[in-house]
Amino acid sequence: MIQTIGVIGAGQMGSGIAQVCALHGFDVTLLDVRPEALEKAVAGIDGHLARQASKGKIEAADKDAALSRIKTGTDYRIFDASDLVIEAATENEDIKRDIFKQLVPHLKAGAMVATNTSSISITRLAATTDRPERFIGMHFMNPVPVMQLVEIIRGIATSEDTYQSVRDLAHKLGKTSAVSEDFPAFIVNRILLPMINEAIYTLYEGVGSVEAIDTAMKLGANHPMGPLELADFIGLDTCLSIMNVLYDGLADSKYRPCPLLVKYVEAGWLGRKVGRGFYDYSKDTPVPTR
257 DSSP assignment: P
Residue type, 18: A
Active-site residue, from 121, 151, 177, 229: 151
Cis amide bond preceding 259, omega within 30:
no
Tell me the HSE value of 144 on the side-chain side, using a 13 A CA sphere. 24
> DSSP of 100-146, one letter per residue?
HHHHGGGS-TT-EEEE--SSS-HHHHHTTSS-GGGEEEEEEPSSTTT
Active-site residue, from 189, 197, 229, 241: 189
What is the C-alpha separation between 157 and 134, in angstroms, rounded? 8
- Which of 234, 161, 230 has the alpha carbon at shortest distance from 199? 230
91 is catalytic: no
**Residue 271 zone, left/alpha/beta (φ > 0; ψ -120 to 50; rest):** left
Asked whether the beta carbons of 277 and 271 are under 8 A apart, the reply is yes
Active-site residue, from 139, 180, 197, 229: 139
What is the C-alpha separation between 254 and 193, in angstroms, rounded? 11
Active-site residue, from 118, 119, 177, 197: 118
The most distant pair of C-alpha atoms in the chain lies apart, rounded to whole Å, by 56
15 is catalytic: no
- Which of 233, 37, 263, 28 has the alpha carbon at shortest distance from 143? 233
222 is catalytic: no
Apex 12 CA angle, 9 and 14, nearest 5:
35
Q: Is the dihedral of CA 112, 117, 119, 125 positive or negative?
A: negative
118 is catalytic: yes
Residues marked active site are found at: 118, 139, 151, 189
